[in-house]
Amino acid sequence: MADATKIYPRTKDAQTVYLKNVVANPNITVGDYTMYNDFSNDPVDFEKNNVLYHYPINRDRLVIGKFCSIACGAKFLFNSANHTLDSASAYPFPLFFEEWGLDQKDVARSWDNKGDIVIGNDVWIGFEAVILAGVTIGDGAVIGARAVVTKDVPPYTIAGGVPAKLIRKRFDADVISHLLRIKWWDWPKEKIARNIEAIQTGRIAKRRGE
């Protein structure tokens, strides 16, 4: 039976981790069984290498649901990477408060704050994709390799490109509505185990153990 508390879910595979068990930042929340694979860096260092410009002063959050698949090099780019566009200059003067005699408490005025990054459940984020601050990606969505996601992606929608555009829905509206209603990722693991074949084949309406 699957064990969501372990770091390495596959024997002799140190490139894949259950992400929930390697992050410590209280402003990063990851659901059970969400996995991250990295063949370039140690996947245990996800928080350092993949969650960028995530400074405590903003209190912005990265929220990732259950059963997500995150490919090598995916990046989550937070608000401090932005430069404010409301000023006549994009230069971050408040960041260098000592140089310019400004108040340290105004450091966050250096950038535009667009909010949290929220990733739903059962989301697949492809190789080296970049998700920008303020973006919400719905349950079951797929983000293509090296996409740059600047806007929200609806549930069960494939998005790709730079900037990412919506390509197509994965299923028809009735199937999507059904999947969002049953929320299989919230089932007890024993029930998921009994119904893996139905989940994998798409015949989830014929699942057992109701």
Residues forming the active site: 83
CA–CA separation, 11 and 74 (whole Å)? 23
The Cα 171–Cα 20 span in angstroms is 29
Q: How far apart are CA 63 and CA 27, in angstroms?
A: 8
67 DSSP assignment: T
120 in Cβ contact with 104 (< 8 Å): no
Q: Which amino acid is at 64?
A: I
The upper half-sphere exposure of residue 192, i.e. CA atoms within 13 Å in the direction of its Cβ, equals 14
User: Is the previous residue joined to 163 through a cis bond, with omega within 30 degrees of 0?
Assistant: yes
